[in-house]
Structure 1
Amino acid sequence: MITTVTLNAAIDKTYTVSSFEMNRVLRIGEMIAVAGGKGVNVARVVHTLGEPVTAAGFAAGFNGQFIRQSLDEEGIGHDFIEVPGESRLCLTVLDTQNGTQTELLEPGPRIPPPSLEELKSRIASLAAASTHVCFSGSLPAGCPADLYAELIRLTRLAGAEAVLDASGDALAAGLEARPLLIKPNEHEIERLLGRAASSDEDLAGCIRELMGRGIRHVIVSLGGRGALAGSGGRLRRVQLPPVAAVNPVGSGDAMVAGMITAIRRGFSDADMVRFGAACGSANALHAQAGVVTMEEVERLHREIRVTDY
């Protein structure tokens, strides 16, 4: 089993409008509302790829009930801890005329200390039944910056591998526990190492440094330009075919889902990142985050190029 952990789960609501203009009354052309948060998106793609998965983390209030019900309807297993307050609502507004996307993200609930202790016990139990545990997204209020690091250590003690897709202080602290895989973008890796990375050569140096700290897979996403990927001391460039993107939100989560699935299935390092990139590109073809089809993934997997850097 793969476990995904979303500490700040959400309802992801996407509005499609013909033109998003300020200071106006806008009528929504199309609306989609689903369970969301980065780890939930990962779980949705893992489920589509055919691997057993459980989505875990915190959920609160009526929005938390919606999250659980939505996952039930999709056939995705879940094990959320109920906390006081209300899970957040995350809005994405897609402007079809101007080709823009605007995101409005609520902060979510504050996590009380007893719930943090319950989380540690729950993660240890889930990790014991999993091959991989994926920690994704921001830390809600009440969580210490080193929480991911502690959870990664608990995961390893239980016999599973940990993947971390976070940013800022949570990512920096989490690196100390040496997760199997991280996926920062260009800006996150600059903040992480405290220096500019204005060229691919700079980024390659950053990747080598992070691999030197004991992280086997370091994938730096470059948006439409693909990615630079380091695995086991070796660097590769990932080149994507052109796609008619509808909504890129969630593509990074889909990429993580694909890479975890590939590792679980014993793919080579090169094919692991190719499969992950195929899932990320497939996600961009849909308005809803965390949605791919096997047909799209298989087609893109054949078209993506991975070469030594």
Structure 2
Amino acid sequence: MIITVTLNAAIDRSLVVPNIRLGHRHRAVEQTTLAGGKGVNVARTLKTLGQPVIATGFAGGATGTRIVEQLTRESILNDFVRIADESRTNTAIFDPTSGVQTEVNEKGPRVDERELELFQDKLLYLARGADIVVLAGSLPRNVPETVYGDLVRELRKFGVKVYADTDGEPLRHVLRAEPDGLTPNQLEAEEIVGHEFADDTDRALAIRELLDHGVTEAVMTLQDGCVAGVRHDGGASGPVGLHLLRARIDVRETVARIGSGDAFLAGMVAARYEGRTDDEALRYAVACGADATQRLGAGLVDPRQVERLVHEVEIERIPLDD
């Protein structure tokens, strides 16, 4: 079983508005509304890929009720902690004439200590039957920035693999807790390392730095694929040692990029859940991320198209300079 955690769940509205100009009235030519937040998006993709998944986190007020009801309509198993404050609503606007995407994300609800304790108890209970837990997204108000790191340490006691996708201070804290996997995009990786990257050499060095912190698998997502690093201890999925890889796929015209990183993470987790090799997992993850850009709405993929795109992903080894 795979569990996804979304502490700052939302209702996500995606709009297509051609020739958008600030200060003017516009009409959307296409729109979609989905339950969202990074962990929810990951759960949606995992469900579509046929993987057993439960989504959990916080849900508050009428918006929280709508999130839970929508997930239930999508047949995504869920077990959220209800909170007093209202869950957030996010809006993304995509202009197809310029290719520019604009997102407006609310901060999210306030969560008190009792509600946080209830969630932690629920997650640790669910984790007893889980193989992988995904901690993803921003934190709602009043939740300490250490929470993901604390959860990683508790979950590891159960022998559960933990993948994390967040940014800022929560990312720094989760990195210190040595999760099994991290999947930052380039901007997030630059923030944690402390400088910008000029090329794949810089990216590979940054990945090595993340691995040196104790992470087993670090993957930096890019528009045309990813740079990945994996440490193996002699298990079935690869020979002993550190391996750096570059995965590429031709960049295609997109419908929207919202949630493509979440689909990538879901593909990676699904592949690891099935015990696939490094190359297979990266090809599958990149294919999921690429297919997600062809749809309006986060976490939406077509498994048949994903399988087709897998064969278009090229993998190369990055030499190690010790």
Name the TM-score, length of structure 2 as normaliser: 0.93
Counterpart-to-counterpart distance in 2, 1:96 and 1:207: 34
Once the 2 structures are TM-superposed, how far is the Cα of residue 126 of structure 1 from its aligned partner? 1.3
Match in the other structure for 1:303: 312
Counterpart-to-counterpart distance in 1, 2:18 and 2:188: 32
Once the 2 structures are TM-superposed, how far is the Cα of residue 23 of structure 1 from its aligned partner? 1.1
Once the 2 structures are TM-superposed, how far is the Cα of residue 158 of structure 1 from its aligned partner? 2.1
Counterpart-to-counterpart distance in 2, 1:28 and 1:50: 33
Counterpart-to-counterpart distance in 2, 1:106 and 1:226: 29
CA contact (8 A) 1:123 1:154 kept: no
Counterpart-to-counterpart distance in 2, 1:266 and 1:149: 25
Match in the other structure for 1:215: 215
Match in the other structure for 2:286: 277
Counterpart-to-counterpart distance in 1, 2:273 and 2:42: 14
**Structure 2 gaps, min length 5:** 232-241
Cα offsets for 1:16-47 (capped at 9, x unmatched): 12221111111222221110000000000000
Q: What letter is aligned with 1:39? A: G
Counterpart-to-counterpart distance in 2, 1:258 and 1:196: 27
Cα offsets for 1:187-233 (capped at 9, x unmatched): 2122212234332212211111221222111101122x321111111
Counterpart-to-counterpart distance in 2, 1:33 and 1:190: 32
Once the 2 structures are TM-superposed, how far is the Cα of residue 176 of structure 1 from its aligned partner? 1.4
Match in the other structure for 2:46: 46
Deviates more, 1:200-209 or 1:292-301: 200-209
Written as runs of structure 1 = structure 2, the 5 A alignment for 1:46-85 is 46-85=46-85
Counterpart-to-counterpart distance in 2, 1:242 and 1:299: 15
**CA spacing shift, 1:29–1:110, aligned 2, 3 Å:** same
Once the 2 structures are TM-superposed, how far is the Cα of residue 12 of structure 1 from its aligned partner? 0.6
Counterpart-to-counterpart distance in 1, 2:182 and 2:106: 25
Q: Secondary structure, in 3 states, of the residue corresponding to 1:266? A: coil
Counterpart-to-counterpart distance in 2, 1:278 and 1:103: 24
CA contact (8 A) 1:240 1:305 kept: yes
Q: What letter is aligned with 1:45? A: T
Q: What letter is aligned with 1:231? A: V
CA contact (8 A) 2:96 2:255 kept: no
CA RMSD in angstroms comes to 1.1
Written as runs of structure 1 = structure 2, the 5 A alignment for 1:91-110 is 91-110=91-110
Written as runs of structure 1 = structure 2, the 5 A alignment for 1:1-309 is 1-223=1-223, 225-232=224-231, 233-309=242-318
Q: What fraction of aligned residue pairs are identical, expressed as a percent?
A: 38
Counterpart-to-counterpart distance in 2, 1:202 and 1:97: 33
Once the 2 structures are TM-superposed, how far is the Cα of residue 76 of structure 1 from its aligned partner? 0.2
Q: Secondary structure, in 3 states, of the residue corresponding to 1:303? A: coil
**Structure 1 gaps, min length 5:** none
Q: What letter is aligned with 1:164? A: A
CA contact (8 A) 1:38 1:137 kept: yes
Once the 2 structures are TM-superposed, how far is the Cα of residue 151 of structure 1 from its aligned partner? 0.8
CA contact (8 A) 1:57 1:119 kept: yes
CA contact (8 A) 1:4 1:135 kept: yes
Q: Secondary structure, in 3 states, of the residue corresponding to 1:173? A: helix
CA contact (8 A) 1:127 1:159 kept: no
Once the 2 structures are TM-superposed, how far is the Cα of residue 148 of structure 1 from its aligned partner? 0.2
Name the TM-score, length of structure 1 as normaliser: 0.97
Counterpart-to-counterpart distance in 2, 1:31 and 1:190: 33
Counterpart-to-counterpart distance in 2, 1:211 and 1:18: 43
Once the 2 structures are TM-superposed, how far is the Cα of residue 244 of structure 1 from its aligned partner? 2.9
Q: Secondary structure, in 3 states, of the residue corresponding to 2:139? A: coil
